[in-house]
Copies of this chain bind each other. A is one copy, B any other.
Amino acid sequence: MALENGNQKVEVGSSCSKPIRNYNWVLIVFRVFAFMATAAATIVMGLNKETKTIVVATVGSTPLTATLTAKFQDTPAFVFFVIANGIATIHNLVMIAADICGKRLDYKGLRLAIIAILDMMTVALVAGGVNAAVYMAELGKNGNSHARWNKICDKFGKFCDHGGGAIIASFGGLLFMLIISVMSILKLLKPKSNCAVSASLVP
């Protein structure tokens, strides 16, 4: 915009550029990765169940058997793991949908800040879930001789393998969520620093 006035002209220019587009699709790709990782963790742990029939005694030549079932619901840490990863999965799905469809949704210019805060809380949730599960899994694998808790992975190998897979997927999801959260925070800087109004006097 130029305001002409006699022999002088005042240039009032706005260098307010749009938020960089390339940056956005990188974030969406990371969100898709995080979504897949936490969804895999939720499903694998949620379906984790192993039933085993063990011979407990032999009466004459007849073996007495007992059927034991290991399932994730029996361990509170694994239940929390499934809930935490499930919420993270929904969070990323909603964020992807909001990013693609709902660009116009905003509340008092706080849209990006709300996203950054929700991302931070999801990071905390996934970190809590995966750490609760990993130490319980470690106990199942190695036992704890001090507390006289025996390992159970020698009996329920498949259950432990599936649980381990879910935990690895969730750690992957946590890594992606950390990157997403950092990007969301940095995004708060971007649009405003590009948006400066300048005024200069052109003789």
Binds B, one of A55-63, A99-107, A186-194: A186-194
User: Is A136 interfacial (CB-CB < 8 Å)?
Assistant: yes
In the bound complex, CA of A135 to CA of B134 (Å):
11
Given A131-B132, A147-B140: A199 and B197 interface contact (C-beta under 8 Å): yes
B138 & A147 in contact (Cβ 8 Å cutoff): no
A185 & B128 in contact (Cβ 8 Å cutoff): no
Interface set, chain A 85-124, CB cutoff 8 A to B: 109-110, 113, 116-117, 120-121, 123-124
Partner of A135, one of B113, B132, B186, B199: B132
A contact residues vs B (CB 8 Å cutoff) = 3, 5-6, 8, 10, 12, 70, 74-77, 80, 109-110, 113, 116-117, 120-121, 123-125, 127-132, 134-136, 138-140, 144, 146-150, 152, 174, 178, 181-182, 185-186, 188-189, 192-193, 196-199, 201
User: How many copies of this chain?
Assistant: 2
Which residues of chain B have C-beta atoms less than 8 A from A193's C-beta? Answer: 109, 192
Which residues of chain B have C-beta atoms less than 8 A from A182's C-beta? Answer: 117, 120
Given A3-B201, A6-B6, A192-B192: A135 and B77 interface contact (C-beta under 8 Å): yes
Instruction: Identify the closest chain B residue to A12 (Cβ).
Output: B199
In the bound complex, CA of A196 to CA of B109 (Å):
15
